[in-house]
């Protein structure tokens, strides 16, 4: 089965990879360093998961190929063994048949020559028996020739069967090599695609980091300006407060002096009032 004939697990891995590695939308906002680090870690985990899936798929294909080769080798070995066993049995039977016939004819010939034929020497019957025996020998030679032809035919059939099995084995081997090549090419293409998307993601991540660093630099510069302005305002405020406190102390001193002067004036007024009353009373008495 080709790698791209997706099972549910492969479809899930490919869909997650496609959704994760899509170009980032930089218009929606800016990623924080934590988000960028998390994205890189998720990408590393995704690449590791995809690599493990490819390795598992390749191992499974190799295991299936090895199993198929073992099954084919076992089937061929069993077929060869059974065919050889049957063929040897047939050959043994055909070989044993003329040998047994020849042996039997030889025994009969010996018995006849030692028995009845010894009494029939020069008799026409002996010639007839010789002709019959010769006919049997010729028949045995014909049977031997048929046996040789049948054995040759069986050997040709066995050779053709071996060639057919070899062709089927070669076809299975070519199919396995084609499947392995297709799997390797698919894995290579997917790896290149993943690598290209990873580089694109890294470029976009670096661009986001650069934009983020530039924004941080601008914000730090603005913050530094605001800090300096705030420090200047605080210094001016401190100077105003110092002047205000000095003015307040001066006013308090003046107030204290005025209070003392007012108290003295009141005492003088009381003294003048008392003297006036005394003079007025004395004048009335006079």
Does pTM top 0.85 for this prediction?
no
CA atoms of 185 and 179, how far apart (whole Å): 10
- According to DSSP, residue 28 is labeled S
- According to DSSP, residue 263 is labeled H
pLDDT attached to residue 34: 74
Q: 50, 54, 73, 68: which is closest to 177 by C-alpha?
A: 68
Cα 217 to Cα 31, 36, 220, 229: the distances in Å are 15, 18, 5, 18
pLDDT attached to residue 149: 84
CA atoms of 2 and 239, how far apart (whole Å): 83
pLDDT under 70 in the chain at which residues?
1-33, 35-36, 91, 93-102, 104-106, 108-127, 129, 286
Provide the H-helix boundaries in the chain.
8-20, 33-114, 116-119, 124-285
pLDDT attached to residue 99: 66
Instruction: Judge contact between 228 and 44, C-beta under 8 A.
Output: no
pLDDT attached to residue 28: 47
Query: What burial letters (b/e) apply to 58-95, b meaning 16+ CB within 10 Å?
Result: eeebeeebeeeeeebeeebeeeeeeeeeeeeeeeeebe
CA atoms of 157 and 79, how far apart (whole Å): 13
pLDDT attached to residue 155: 79
Q: Which pLDDT tens digit goes with each residue over 83-134?
A: 778 777 776 766 666 666 667 666 766 665 665 555 545 555 556 767 777 7
Question: Residue with structure tokens 């065919």?
Answer: 83
pLDDT attached to residue 36: 67
Interacting residues of 70 by C-beta distance below 8 A, sequence separation 6+: none
pLDDT attached to residue 1: 40
pLDDT attached to residue 202: 86
Question: Residue with structure tokens 């499974």?
Answer: 60
């Amino acid at each position: 089965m080709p790698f791209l004939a997706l099972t549910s697990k492969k479809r899930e891995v490919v869909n997650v990879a496609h959704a994760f590695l899509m170009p980032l939308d930089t218009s929606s906002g800016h990623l924080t360093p934590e988000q960028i680090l998390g994205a890189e870690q998720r990408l590393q985990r995704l690449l590791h998961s995809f690599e493990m899936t490819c390795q598992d798929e390749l191992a499974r294909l190799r295991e299936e190929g090895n199993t198929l080769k073992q099954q084919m080798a076992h089937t061929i070995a069993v077929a060869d063994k059974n065919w050889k066993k049957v063929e040897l049995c047939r050959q043994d039977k055909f070989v044993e048949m003329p040998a047994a016939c020849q042996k039997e004819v030889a025994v009969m010939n010996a018995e006849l020559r030692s028995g009845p034929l010894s009494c029939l020497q020069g008799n026409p019957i002996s010639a007839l028996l010789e002709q019959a025996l010769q006919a049997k020998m010729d028949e045995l030679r014909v049977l031997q020739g048929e046996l040789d032809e049948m054995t040759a035919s069986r050997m040709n059939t066995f050779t053709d069967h071996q060639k057919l099995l070899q062709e089927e084995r070669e076809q299975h081997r070519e199919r396995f090599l084609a499947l392995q090549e297709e799997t390797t090419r698919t894995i290579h293409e997917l790896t290149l695609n993943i690598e290209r998307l990873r580089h694109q993601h890294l470029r976009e991540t670096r661009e986001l980091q650069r934009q983020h660093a530039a924004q941080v630099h601008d914000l730090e510069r603005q913050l530094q300006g605001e800090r300096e302005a705030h420090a200047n305002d605080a210094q001016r405020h401190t100077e105003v407060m110092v002047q205000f406190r000095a003015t307040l102390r001066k006013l308090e001193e003046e107030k204290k002096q005025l209070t003392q002067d007012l108290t003295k004036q009141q005492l003088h007024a009381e003294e003048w009032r008392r003297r006036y009353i005394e003079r007025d009373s004395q004048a009335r008495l006079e």
